A and B are shown apart, each in its own frame.
Chain A
Amino acid sequence: MVVSIGSLESLLTNEEWVALIRHIGRGDKTALAVLYDATGPLVFGLVLMIVGDRITAEQITLDVYTAAWKTASTYDEGHGTPLTWLLSIARSKAMATFNSQAHSSSHRLKIEDGYSAADLTILDDNTGRLSPEHFENAGLALETMPAEEREVLEIAYYEGLSAGEIAGRLGRPPEEVKVQITKAMTNLLRPIVSGKRANA
């Protein structure tokens, strides 16, 4: 079932997110429960996208929050927002499992359904507040991104293939793939940096 993150119905300030992580770092189980409740669908969805198997995704999701519980005390604001920190853990663990199990891409989930992201929030650099508009912009950046850039980005992110491997699969020169990945990533950044919707 694809759902929106309804539990994030109210905007959180960056201070609140960071406070949440700090409390987890001090061993506060309530804070971990709040984090899980707010981000569980996001983490589970991401992990499932990578590993393509619900049972495995459930185990990895448990691993992700257990890792968050153990390492929250070392969380460094300078290296990203709490959400990107958490998602980084999720992707890292999912990718490690995916690589170890040598899944074939045919087992991978496809994004068949759209999802309502209007109430999902991310950090706004200027206000320090999490803005649904910016998440929407990020989605728009993907939607308006040239198909070949989005394709290499999705393969790189969800499958962890190197530029050379992606090039081999798509029959494109490696240098072209590298350029496309860089452009795609830059496009994703555009809404955060400028506060405006990304242009194709």
Chain B
Amino acid sequence: MRHDCPTHEIKEQAALYALGVLTHLEASAFESHIREGCEICRAELFKFERAAGMFALNAPQIKPPAYLIDLLQARIEKETAARTQSPENQFAVDQPFLTRALAHGRQIVAAIPWRLVSIRALPWAAASAFGVVSIMLLVALSSAHSASANQDHAIIEAKKQIEQMHGLVERATGRSKELAEIIAILGVPGVRQVQLVGEGPAASSRITLYMDDKSGLCIISADQLPVADGMVHHLWFVTPEGPKNAGTLQTDENGHAFLETSAEANFRNLNAACITLEPEGEVDHPTTRVLALGKITRSPRVHKQNSAATPDQPSDSEEAPPQHSQTDAPEGAEQRPRHAARQSGTTSIDNH
């Protein structure tokens, strides 16, 4: 049934439909009626759709974040790449270049309200047309745009891969130098090798200390150390007088650290070595819990991890630092914090 004039009911239906607040059934019925060709209802709907648009214009104007246009640009580039791969667009590319590009350029220049192009939009715009100081430049840019978008994407990806490769090479080079240092110190007769055993977040860390009694050279190599922003790892030598700072480890984002240092005191006075994670800056004593600890014995032999001392092995055995018994701990405070840390997980080393 077609209407002859807009009744109140028609206006109401059109208004509610334009707002999208009719029920599904009501909306379907109204759409069917419009499709049947009722021009009166179509005109009313058109009016109220414009009213809805008017209402939308009263929403608060809120500036979107600046990065949104970059995200939009990325999306559109993706869409464009998809378009250019379609057969339809392949055909368009085959049209006579100059004719097509000139026509396109003239249309753009004539129709785009250039005064509205803001500085922020310029980089994007320049990629397409706004950078035109002449029609010819526009022609070149317009024509090459799709292809250059793909090329740009490929270049960006390639640059990323190159950066990653650079990182890998630098890391490999650094590690090879470290290995050379370790091999060199291992070649020194009587050098000692101590494994530090990790606690809590450092439980999976692998930390080895190499000590040359004669030269006083000391190398520590660590992997899988827990890292935290604004925090650095410190190496401590535990002496009868208390812990002494042996240096700061330059730990990378993967938890790898390498430090070459020297022991001020005679190695024979060292009871243990440990690592803590401290706030950046100088510290003269540990302020946080011990992450890893290794007992330094007086016997210049190689220590192995995970082979705990047994009661029949003396405290100066070459085994790993004590984990279960205090009886094999050397005198001094260096074992107390470790034991306490295992108990509570929060103990810090203090000066003893």
Contacts and interface: CB of A to CB of B under 8 A. Distances in A.
Contact of B19 (A7, A20, A61, A156): A156
Contact of A29 (B19, B61, B80): B80
Contacts of A19: 111-112
Given A30-B108, A65-B72, A66-B76, A84 B16 contact: no
Interface string A139-170: 10110000000000100110011111010000
Interface in A88-117: 88, 90-92, 95, 109, 111, 113, 115, 117
B59 A83 contact: no
B22 interface: yes
A120 B53 CA distance: 13
B63 A41 contact: yes
Contacts of A113: 60
Nearest to A183: B15
B51 A160 contact: no
Interface string B47-85: 111111111111111111100110111011001100100
B61 A186 contact: no
B64 A20 contact: no
Interface residues of A, number: 83
Contacts of B111: 16, 19-20, 22-23
A90 B56 contact: yes
Interface in A24-57: 26-34, 36-38, 40-42, 44-46, 48-49
Contacts of A4: 61
B181 interface: no
B116 interface: yes
Contact of B62 (A1, A20, A65): A1
Interface extent on B, as a size class? 35 or more
A53 B255 CA distance: 38
Given A44-B63, A189-B48, A84 B53 contact: yes
Given A29-B76, A62-B68, A181-B16, A44 B56 contact: no
Interface string B1-40: 0000000100110011011111100000000000000000
B112 A189 contact: no
Given A62-B72, A88-B53, A120 B61 contact: yes
B267 interface: no
B107 interface: yes
B113 A34 contact: yes
A179 B13 CA distance: 10
B125 A40 contact: no
User: Which one of B56, B104, B120, B130 has the highest number of Cβ atoms from chain A below 10 Å of its Cβ?
Assistant: B56
A29 B60 contact: no
29 contacts: A1-B63, A2-B60, A12-B116, A23-B107, A30-B125, A30-B128, A30-B129, A32-B76, A33-B117, A37-B117, A42-B56, A45-B61, A69-B76, A79-B49, A84-B49, A87-B57, A88-B49, A91-B56, A117-B58, A138-B58, A139-B58, A141-B54, A157-B52, A160-B21, A161-B21, A178-B12, A185-B51, A189-B47, A189-B54
Interface of B: 8, 11-12, 15-16, 18-23, 46-65, 68-69, 71-73, 75-76, 79-80, 83, 104, 107-108, 111-113, 115-118, 120-121, 124-125, 127-130, 145
What are the 7 A-B residue pairs with the smallest beta carbon separation, nearest first?
Answer: A84-B53, A19-B111, A45-B62, A87-B56, A44-B64, A46-B59, A41-B61
